[in-house]
Amino acid sequence: MNCVRNLWSVFSRLLTLRRYCNPGQSPLAPLSCSDVQAAVSHSVPPIQLVRGCHKETVPYTNRAHWVILSPSIERKVGEKLFEYFKKKHSKDILGPSDPSTARVHLILSDIICGIQEVFPTNSLRDDAKQGKAAARPQTGHLRDLKWEVIVMRDKSVNAYSLPGGKIVVFTGLLNVLKTDAEIAAIIAHEAGHIVARHFTELTILTPPILTRLLPFQRRNKLEADLIGMMLLAAAGFDPRTESLRSARS
């Protein structure tokens, strides 16, 4: 019943771009509730959101959490919002032939290889077919995920991630982080949020003001750091180096 009563709150909270690196520095406003409705209301029937509400276990940390969307609906929502976001900010998005875009694409490819090593395709669990699925780390949402990254012209030292493997990196971040390893640390962190399905947690139903007073964001950030460090190591980077620790802070 809580899922039903807070359905539209889910729309506005779930699909708002979250900041994890340096909150409050970007001049780009998060998508409004009306933006969200325009992007997803016609592609995701409300009843499917309600049916997707269930309990899962996060990989590595084994933390139990409630999520509001099934993996398939989460992916549809992420892809729809990503396309909407790219259209809205098309003038600020660097083209695929831009050196910065090519650079982050190569770095993301390394991280994806790390994800495939940590979560081999033949071991990804089909959550719907498991007994006692909530007690086991959930990784089925990573199967055949279409990872994408874009670079946006913005002076903020920041990056975003969206459901379904979508990542946005600002040019301000690339100007500060000089090495591929440092940039990989941030991308791996954002990938950690996607692996942990932080966007679909039931805690997003909490009113915005209350959420700021509770350690939800800090907990999720630390969890993404842990997963990100493992992905970094699997991709061939040493997460223990000082420069990578500084990049994540």
Q: Taking a C-beta distance cutoff of 8 angstroms, is the pair 57, 225 a contact?
A: no
> What mean pLDDT is predicted for residues 227-246?
80
Residue 206: burial class (beta carbons within 10 Å; 0-12, 13-18, 19+): middle
> What mean pLDDT is predicted for residues 162-174?
94
pLDDT number for residue 109? 97
Query: Helix count (H) and strand count (E) of the chain?
Result: 11, 5
Q: Share the mean pLDDT of the chain.
A: 75
- Segment among 1-5, 88-92, 97-101, 152-156 with least mean pLDDT: 1-5
d(CA 18, CA 186): 14
DSSP code at position 200:
G
Phi first, then psi: what are they for 67, rounded to 5°? -120, 150
Identify residue 213 by its one-letter amino acid code. L
Q: Taking a C-beta distance cutoff of 8 angstroms, is the pair 245, 228 a contact?
A: no
57-67, pLDDT tens digit by residue? Answer: 888 888 888 88
Q: Taking a C-beta distance cutoff of 8 angstroms, is the pair 145, 161 a contact?
A: no
> What mean pLDDT is predicted for residues 200-229?
70
- Segment among 17-31, 164-178, 185-199, 221-235 with least mean pLDDT: 17-31
DSSP code at position 166:
E
Phi first, then psi: what are they for 244, rounded to 5°? -75, -35
Q: Taking a C-beta distance cutoff of 8 angstroms, is the pair 29, 21 a contact?
A: no
DSSP β-bridge partners for residue 67: 54, 201
pLDDT number for residue 124? 59
Q: Taking a C-beta distance cutoff of 8 angstroms, is the pair 196, 223 a contact?
A: yes
pLDDT number for residue 140? 82
Helix (H, G, I), strand (E, B) or coil at 137: strand
With bands split at pLDDT 50, 70 and 90, how would you rate the model's confidence at 1?
very low
pLDDT number for residue 49? 60
pLDDT number for residue 78? 86
pLDDT number for residue 72? 84
Query: Is 0.85 topped by the overall pTM?
Result: no
Cβ atoms < 10 Å from Cβ of 89: 15
Closest of 81, 16, 18, 88 to residue 44, by C-alpha: 81
What are the boundaries of each domain within the chain? 2-248
d(CA 49, CA 40): 12
pLDDT at 222 over 50: yes
130-141, pLDDT tens digit by residue? Answer: 445 545 677 888
Phi first, then psi: what are they for 57, rounded to 5°? -120, 130
24-61, pLDDT tens digit by residue? Answer: 433 344 455 555 555 556 556 666 666 667 888 888 88
> What mean pLDDT is predicted for residues 186-206?
81
pLDDT number for residue 190? 94
d(CA 61, CA 66): 15
DSSP β-bridge partners for residue 150: 168
